[in-house]
Amino acid sequence: MTEGPGLAFRKMHGAGNDFVVIDARGRADPVTPALARALGDRHRGVGFDQLAVLVEAEGADAGLIFWNADGSRAAACGNATRCVADLLLGEGRGPELVLHVAGRGEPLAARRRGDGAVEVDMGTAATDWRAIPLARDADTLALPLPGAPVAVSMGNPHAVHFVESLPAVALKSWGPAVETDPLFPERTNVQFVEVLDRGHVRARVWERGVGETLASGSSACAIAVAGHRRGLTDRRLAVDLPGGRLEIVYGEDGHCLLSGPVAHVFEGRLSAAWLAAAAAAEAAP
């Protein structure tokens, strides 16, 4: 991107799951909670499901810091990881990358498949109640909540509900009720899934700190894990979301391989005046 005043960024999406990407390699990370909130405003900012900040990371090709639109931090975002991997592979890195995501203990590996799709190893899924985390011991295969969802952690918490009819789900009321249930001390992402056959489902997602999203990579992984644990789906799964299809392979080793489309939308630059206004909002009492 060209140099100039202000702050450069990219807009990208994976199956409609949209991101702002800021490259902070070689300089101080400029993002604060207030800046993330201002950027996430779809009317006065740019708008995104997640903000991805690209930073230097020892022992990895790059590090990633994720922010939600409400200014909270996220420890996992599969589609954003794929988008950033696509950028790095375009720089001539590869054929495989190692990425370190802030808040995660294990690095993530990414590569470009022969068909051009970008695939990320999202690491191992966790199903222990402490790892989700839950506020108390509970059966993570059938939580004591309406719909008996399955709890899974992909570095972030998920509550996966299997339903008979996806169109009948009242997402905008059921989703936030589960997201903020006291059982989840860090809130949770919420999925509603209709199984079409053992290799194919369709789903809708309510994402913590964001709301309804057109797609979610970590949610698709959680769906694959939950479906296999319930005996409903195979380890290779196509997940159709409102924004498009994501593909998951849930390996015998517990790792989830996530692949799908990547789109570069535009490059832009936040003006110095806009940045100053965002900083003033943060400083205001």
The answer on pLDDT for 2 being more than 50 is no
DSSP string, 182-206: TT-TT--EEEEEEEEETTEEEEEEE
- Shared domain for 245 and 135, answered yes or no, is yes
- Shared domain for 158 and 187, answered yes or no, is yes
Q: Is 2 within a domain?
A: no
End-to-end CA distance of the chain: 35
- The pLDDT assigned to 254 comes to 93
What average pLDDT does this structure show over 118-139? Answer: 96
Question: Could you tell me the CATH number of the domain that includes residue 173?
Answer: 3.10.310.10
231 is in an annotated binding site: no
- Shared domain for 193 and 203, answered yes or no, is yes
Confidence of residue 233 (pLDDT cuts 50, 70, 90): very high
Domain that holds residue 251: 124-260
DSSP 24: -
- Shared domain for 147 and 242, answered yes or no, is yes
The Cα 9–Cα 46 span in angstroms is 10
- Shared domain for 187 and 269, answered yes or no, is no
6 is in an annotated binding site: no
Give phi and psi for 43, each to the nearest 5.
-105, -40
The Cα 165–Cα 180 span in angstroms is 24
Confidence of residue 285 (pLDDT cuts 50, 70, 90): low
pLDDT tens track for 171-214: 999 999 999 999 999 999 999 999 999 999 999 999 998 999 99
The answer on pLDDT for 225 being more than 90 is yes
DSSP 87: H
221 is catalytic: no
Report the number of distinct structural domains present in the chain: 2
Q: Is 53 within a domain?
A: yes
- Shared domain for 254 and 268, answered yes or no, is no
207 is in an annotated binding site: yes
268 is in an annotated binding site: no
DSSP 92: T
- Shared domain for 216 and 150, answered yes or no, is yes
Catalytic-labelled residue, pool 77, 83, 221, 256: 77
